[in-house]
Amino acid sequence: MSNVVVIDRNYHFVDFTVAPNPFNGYINVHFDEAKRRNVQLDLIDLSGRTLQSSKIDWSTTDYKMQTNEIPAGIYLLKITSGTYTEVIRVLKR
C-alpha cells in the first residue's frame, strides 16, 4: 500500500486572463469556457482595503470591472472560486 496522496489542484481552478494591465478606466477579466466557475473578484489596495467586490456567475465569460473612481497606483486583484484563490498585481495609470 502506498502513502502517496494526489491532490487535484485543477478541481477548483479558474482559467482566466486579465487585460489591460496596466489599466485606465476598467479591468477586463476573461474566463476560459472549459473551466468556468462562480467566482468572486476583489480589487484591493496595498493597505489591504477592499475597494470593489463582485460576484461573477459561472455563465459569464467576460467581466468588465469599472475603475474610474480609483486613483492611479498598484492594486491586487483577488480571484476566488471555492477554496481556490489567486492574487495578481495590477497597475492603474
Q: Is the pLDDT of residue 74 over 60?
A: yes
1 located within any domain = no
83 located within any domain = yes
Report if pTM > 0.85.
no
What cell does 81 get? 472560486
Q: Cα–Cα distances in Å, from 44 out to 14, 33, 53, 81? A: 19, 26, 9, 17
The CATH number of whichever domain residue 39 belongs to comes to 2.60.40.3080
Domain holding 25, by residue range, is: 16-92
**Per-residue pLDDT, 37:** 76
How many CB atoms neighbour CB 79 within 10 A? 19
Contacts for 56 with CB less than 8 Å, ≥ 6 apart: 29, 31, 38, 39, 40, 41, 63
Mean pLDDT of the chain, nearest integer = 84
46 located within any domain = yes
Type of residue found at 14: V
The 10s digit of each residue's pLDDT in 14-47 is 688 899 999 999 999 998 865 667 899 999 999 9
CA torsion sign, 18 to 82 to 66 to 74?
Answer: negative
53 located within any domain = yes
**Per-residue pLDDT, 13:** 56
**Per-residue pLDDT, 82:** 83
Q: Which residue has the higher pLDDT, 66 or 14?
A: 66
**Per-residue pLDDT, 5:** 44
5 located within any domain = no
